[in-house]
Amino acid sequence: MITTKLQRKGYIMEGNPYSFAHGLNRYKQFWIFLSGCMIGYIVESLWCYVRLGHLESRQGLLYGPFTPVYGLGALLFTVALYRIRHRNSMIIFFCSMFLGGALEYVCSFLQEKLFGTISWEYSDSALNLHGRTNLTYSVFWGILGLIFIKHTLPSLTSWIEQIPSRAGVILTRVLLIFMVVNIALSGMAVKRQSMRQDGIPASGPVSQWLDQQYTDDYLRKVYPNMQHAQS
């Protein structure tokens, strides 16, 4: 049996060896990312309700209940922490705390540099790092990572590997195309909004279409917390 480099290093060798997503192959990685996006959307929505007393959009993409930073977090936790899943919970917590805080910082930095926007800003909070992450939310990442590795991932892995192989391959490819288009379109719409706010007019049919389809009012409904980064 041919194994991947990750499998030879001890990543998720349990489960059904005949599943389309056995081990930590690309199919499994995609489903972990997609599931993390959806779980993150639910977590963010509940947290918003607890803090503000009402629900509002916590989408990270234009279409669907997806928050990609959590999908990346789920994938990062899986790859980095699976081998130590049976170790002391405090070790997993602190590793998750560091990884989650670093991920939040990098995502904030890239969003600002690539799209000219920010979706979270912690400059007024204690023990923050350039306003991109802080100790409080790093602790939350630590808790989420511990819960994910100890409880969510085993159940998620079992569920994914129960998908029939042929259907799983087809469904994965369809969803992958959808997510690639969704991510690309979301990035283009946000970038174009940032350019509009900088006074840059539409320079071609694509920009004009984005201006018509994804107006500032529309994007404010999808991303109520997103702000234009000050240059």
Please report the pLDDT score of residue 194 as a whole number. Answer: 95
Q: Give the number of other CB atoms < 10 A from CB of residue 194.
A: 19
Please report the pLDDT score of residue 40 as a whole number. Answer: 94
What SS3 class is residue 222? helix
Going from the C-alpha of 142 to that of each of 39, 146, 191, the distances in angstroms are 16, 6, 31
Please report the pLDDT score of residue 222 as a whole number. Answer: 96
Residue ranges of the chain with pLDDT lower than 50? 1-3, 12-13
Please report the pLDDT score of residue 95 as a whole number. Answer: 97
Q: Are 194 and 115 in contact (CB under 8 A)?
A: yes
Please report the pLDDT score of residue 3 as a whole number. Answer: 47
Please report the pLDDT score of residue 55 as a whole number. Answer: 86
Please report the pLDDT score of residue 192 as a whole number. Answer: 97
Contacts 24+ apart (CB under 8 A), 178-185: 179/34, 179/66, 182/61, 182/62, 182/63, 182/64, 182/66, 183/61, 183/68, 185/62, 185/63
What SS3 class is residue 216? helix
Residue written as tokens 């240059």?
Answer: 231
Give the closest residue to 75 by CA, choosing from 184, 174, 152: 152
Residues 199, 194: Cα–Cα separation, whole Å: 9
Q: Give the number of other CB atoms < 10 A from CB of residue 61.
A: 20
What SS3 class is residue 11? coil
pTM, full prediction? 0.90
Residue 112 Cα to chain centre, angstroms? 16
